[in-house]
Amino acid sequence: MRAKLHLAVDPSARARGISSFNLVACGLILIAVLVAVLETEQTLVDQYPSFFMIADGLFFIIFAIEYCLRLYVAPLNPRFSGRFGRIRYIFSFWAVIDLIALLPFLLAGAGTSAYYLRLARLFRVLGIARLGRFTHAWRVLGGAFYSRRYELLISALVALLLLLVSSTFLYLIEADGQPDAFGSVPRALWWSVATLTTVGYGDVTPHTPIGQFFAGITAVAGIGLVAMPTGILAAAFSDAFQKQRGDK
Amino acid sequence: MRAKLHLAVDPSARARGISSFNLVACGLILIAVLVAVLETEQTLVDQYPSFFMIADGLFFIIFAIEYCLRLYVAPLNPRFSGRFGRIRYIFSFWAVIDLIALLPFLLAGAGTSAYYLRLARLFRVLGIARLGRFTHAWRVLGGAFYSRRYELLISALVALLLLLVSSTFLYLIEADGQPDAFGSVPRALWWSVATLTTVGYGDVTPHTPIGQFFAGITAVAGIGLVAMPTGILAAAFSDAFQKQRGDK
Amino acid sequence: MRAKLHLAVDPSARARGISSFNLVACGLILIAVLVAVLETEQTLVDQYPSFFMIADGLFFIIFAIEYCLRLYVAPLNPRFSGRFGRIRYIFSFWAVIDLIALLPFLLAGAGTSAYYLRLARLFRVLGIARLGRFTHAWRVLGGAFYSRRYELLISALVALLLLLVSSTFLYLIEADGQPDAFGSVPRALWWSVATLTTVGYGDVTPHTPIGQFFAGITAVAGIGLVAMPTGILAAAFSDAFQKQRGDK
Amino acid sequence: MRAKLHLAVDPSARARGISSFNLVACGLILIAVLVAVLETEQTLVDQYPSFFMIADGLFFIIFAIEYCLRLYVAPLNPRFSGRFGRIRYIFSFWAVIDLIALLPFLLAGAGTSAYYLRLARLFRVLGIARLGRFTHAWRVLGGAFYSRRYELLISALVALLLLLVSSTFLYLIEADGQPDAFGSVPRALWWSVATLTTVGYGDVTPHTPIGQFFAGITAVAGIGLVAMPTGILAAAFSDAFQKQRGDK
């Protein structure tokens, strides 16, 4: 019976696919995160105080049971078998995250301010990443990133250089007209990062023709800034997928 | 004669290419959608009331005839041959969409409010997607998406995590200065989603230097958010196109 | 001597590379376009009237000589050899564009309004595209586009559907609060196209929480809208480059 | 001992990896750049004047020592061995950049205005690019760019053409209503470049329906403008990575 439970609870127990137990757990974590996010909106908490109290309690009970179940079947996983296997499991990465996600409710009972609790509750989201443990996907993506770390680093350096060059130019050109927005390189960086990432808030824009000329060049360079890492990742993923096919 | 009509009317009857009948049908659907969209603009309807009445009637007649033609030749398609073939056709996906697209005009005669009619009329656009039935293109794209569903799911989870982390940071930093825009995580999410997708409306921006620092990091992370699915899709499509070439 | 001139003037005469004659011609065209663009700025024309008059005259003489040279060596190109070769050259695509680019100056002398002249002058830019004639690059890019025309068409249809669905949602939600911006589907389309293309002007944004929720989903869908054609093109180019390597 | 130092100091001495000496040097350069950037913010300099004075002096001493070390071990590099090897090293690209990065402090002592010093200090960032010398990454990326220079040039020309066409259209349509923003093609270019690069500041937007229609088309064309170079780079990188694998 514990073996059956292990197959349902431990995502790494199955060669492929996800058990319905873990699918439900993922869904519950997503809902719990949504509730935690909504709880920061004071007008909602004031309107439905009992809903959030009940939801917090319910999620604590559910995830506490889930934690106990995972701890119960842990020794069936070869990594946590043998003596001290359960203790090693408790200090494994995902178990610690599971525990951290349970803390806010306990700490609230201990009277800590709700402010940091909200932040801690966010760690629950990381639990969702467990979903990935059961596939090659994480390894494929991570391997692609790692194999092209130098190329990605170079494109990050080029981006940094572009950021500094463009913010320096705009600082030199626009500082006199708009001291608040371009009065120093750190201030001009706010405009520069918004432009190079093609976000373009538009709260700060150059007003002189020569400033707009350099801003236009920066915007075009921003396309390159997006294209380079995208191209590197696309090629790295393509490489990784081909290697994967070759292995089969 | 019905066989000839079948070849002209049924997009799946031809191995390659699109018949001029279906090309005209697609063009008419696009025009009908355009008219339906323009009809929501009250100033236009008030200015040219007869134009929209005539257009609606005309399109109903045209698409009713088209529906009857498709129903008439349906049994020549192996999928809808035999007894009850036509009835099976009526309940097939595209035939139902064709019928839904005809409903607004009939319901208008039945006195239903024009409000929902406009919404229903939008379904006509889906009819255009029939265009794709006759090529491998849908299958190639769909297959590429499906084969990399885990990688795409992971990048969606990373995006969700980035959304929550960045909105939480901005909420902690900017809540005091701009309670309307950053007073809770759900409110900060509006800024966060606009930044991470590199849309950048600029209606809400951080005002403190520390907030702008984290916003800059968020904007740079936004590039990664765009680059990752693009790279995965590029690699998946590349894989699919190569497999397709290998099959030939 | 004509053979030497042909080698220098006709971009298709060389197997690889670009002659210094054509490099200078391309540079001059770019400068001429720049001058034509600046000429639309009335304050500049008022400040330096003689500069623009001299520049226009000079560029006319230069490009007229270039046109005559090209016409003179045209018969050495196998496509335009034999009888009527020169006449066939005059009516070839690039020669017609060269001639159109010369018209504004002549028409100005004929007293036509300067308004359309400015527009016609823009055709000169197309002349730059001649640069591409001498490489495989155009054919490789064009072939890649053509080979994946169905996939690109499907992503265009998906984009159109997203545009209509998102603008309809925002119209239903925000029409009451902001009739000017979201009072009809055509009006909401302006917001929708700015969001889905991740441009995000921010002149029009949803104000209600539910509207912002759907706008956020639209912005995320916008990433897909950018990622899909980029991925298709990346895969198509990858395919084309590989085929090109295989041919060698 | 000098051989050991050479292995630690010269990035090209090692076949793979980066020595801890160079890792520390890179970290220090990044911190020095950060300090130089912060120094342009007058409010910070006024608040902590001694911090910036000490930091500038310290960085000068550190990088002067680094420069001497590199000069000391230079002859062990085959490129700079033999007679005049050190002198040839002094005039090599990276050594000149190292020297330029040291100049601001010396010039400040010579009484030059701080204005240009700040600009010169930016050159230090280029020193970080030395990081790349020790890997194939630069060569792979550069080779990919070079091998597809014609395709990238074509997409730049298409971008230029789109810029000019869209700004001309908006100038024709919106010039009457907004002479400040669209009164000439150069003015309309500011809007055009912001839209086509999908930056979208939103400080200038078309107000007429027909202007918004063309702006929407421009925004959609902007996706193509981003997708084309991204696709070309992705395919070129994919090609380069495959060639690299084939060489092993």
Q: pLDDT (tens digit, 9 = 90+) per residue, D27-74?
A: 887 788 788 788 888 888 889 888 888 888 888 899 889 889 888 888
CA pair distance A194, A218, nearest whole angstrom: 10
**Torsion-angle region of residue A100: left (phi > 0), alpha (psi -120 to 50) or beta?**
alpha
By the CB < 8 Å criterion, does B150 face chain A? yes
How far D5 CA lies from chain B's nearest CA (Å)? 37
With H, G, I as helix, E, B as strand and everything else as coil, classify residue D15: coil
Residues D187 and D163 sit within 8 Å (Cβ to Cβ): no
Of B130 and B210, more confident: B210
pLDDT of residue B122: 57
CA pair distance D75, C15, nearest whole angstrom: 45
- CB pair distance less than 8 Å for C234 and D234: yes
Q: Among B103-107, C29-33, C72-76, name the one with the lowest average pLDDT.
A: B103-107
Taking alpha carbons only, the member of B20, D155, D236, D148 closest to residue C145 is D155
How far A6 CA lies from chain D's nearest CA (Å)? 41
Summarize pLDDT for A167-216 with one digit per residue, the tens.
Answer: 988 988 998 899 889 988 889 999 999 999 999 898 999 999 999 999 99
Q: Tokens in use for B11?
A: 């997009």
CA pair distance B13, B91, nearest whole angstrom: 19
pLDDT band at D217 (very low <50, low <70, confident <90, very high): very high
Tell me the average pLDDT across C12-28: 72
pLDDT of residue D110: 43
Any idea which residue has 């001058």 for tokens?
C35
With H, G, I as helix, E, B as strand and everything else as coil, classify residue A37: helix
By the CB < 8 Å criterion, does B156 face chain A? no
Cα–Cα separations (whole angstroms), residue B2 to B67, B70, B133? 15, 11, 21
pLDDT band at D189 (very low <50, low <70, confident <90, very high): very high
Taking alpha carbons only, the member of A36, C13, A205 closest to residue B168 is A36
pLDDT of residue D111: 39
- Residue in C161, C198, C239 closest to B125 by CB: C161
Any idea which residue has 């084969």 for tokens?
B147
Tell me the average pLDDT across C128-134: 49
With H, G, I as helix, E, B as strand and everything else as coil, classify residue B71: helix
Q: Tokens in use for C178?
A: 């902001």
pLDDT of residue A112: 37
pLDDT band at B187 (very low <50, low <70, confident <90, very high): very high
Is the pLDDT confidence value at C121 over 70?
no
Of B171 and C122, more confident: B171
Q: Which of A232, A238, A241, A243 would you mutate first to test chain D, the one with the most D CBs within 10 A?
A: A232
Of D194 and A123, more confident: D194
- CB pair distance less than 8 Å for D198 and B198: yes
pLDDT of residue A113: 45
Q: Report helix, strand and coil shares of chain D as percent, to nearest 5.
A: 80, 0, 20
By the CB < 8 Å criterion, does A200 face chain C? yes
pLDDT band at B207 (very low <50, low <70, confident <90, very high): very high
Tell me the average pLDDT across A135-164: 83
By the CB < 8 Å criterion, does D201 face chain B? yes
CA pair distance A144, B148, nearest whole angstrom: 14
Q: Look over chain C and give the mean of its residue pLDDT values, rounded to a whole number.
A: 81
- Residue C127 CA to chain centroid, in angstroms? 11
Residues C174 and C215 sit within 8 Å (Cβ to Cβ): no
pLDDT of residue C17: 59
- CB pair distance less than 8 Å for C239 and B241: yes
% of chain C surpassing 90 pLDDT: 19
Report all structural domains of chain B as residue ranges with CATH numbers, in order of start.
2-134 (1.20.120), 144-247 (1.10.287.70)
pLDDT of residue C206: 94
Q: Tokens in use for C235?
A: 């895969």
With H, G, I as helix, E, B as strand and everything else as coil, classify residue C192: helix
- CB pair distance less than 8 Å for A234 and B234: yes
Q: Look over chain D and give the mean of its residue pLDDT values, rounded to a whole number.
A: 81
How far B190 CA lies from chain A's nearest CA (Å)? 13
Cα–Cα separations (whole angstroms), residue B81 to B87, B92, B133, D247? 10, 13, 19, 57
Is the pLDDT confidence value at A5 over 70?
yes
Of A40 and A108, more confident: A40
pLDDT of residue B201: 92
Distance linking the first and last C-alpha atoms of chain D:
34
Summarize pLDDT for C191-213 with one digit per residue, the tens.
Answer: 999 999 999 898 999 999 999 99
Tell me the average pLDDT across C102-116: 57
Q: Among A186-190, B71-75, C103-107, D113-117, name the one with the lowest average pLDDT.
A: D113-117
CA pair distance D1, C233, nearest whole angstrom: 54
- ipTM greater than 0.85, yes or no? no
% of chain C surpassing 70 pLDDT: 83
Q: Look over chain B and give the mean of its residue pLDDT values, rounded to a whole number.
A: 81
Chains touching C, CB cut-off 8 Å, 3+ pairs: A, B, D
CA pair distance B67, B130, nearest whole angstrom: 13
Tell me which chain A residue has its CA closest to the CA of residue C232: A234
Of B33 and D164, more confident: D164
Tell me the average pLDDT across D127-155: 73
% of chain D surpassing 90 pLDDT: 18
- CB pair distance less than 8 Å for D122 and A160: no
By the CB < 8 Å criterion, does C129 face chain B? no
- CB pair distance less than 8 Å for D202 and B201: yes
Summarize pLDDT for A80-110 with one digit per residue, the tens.
Answer: 888 888 888 888 877 877 777 777 777 654 4
CA pair distance A81, D29, nearest whole angstrom: 48
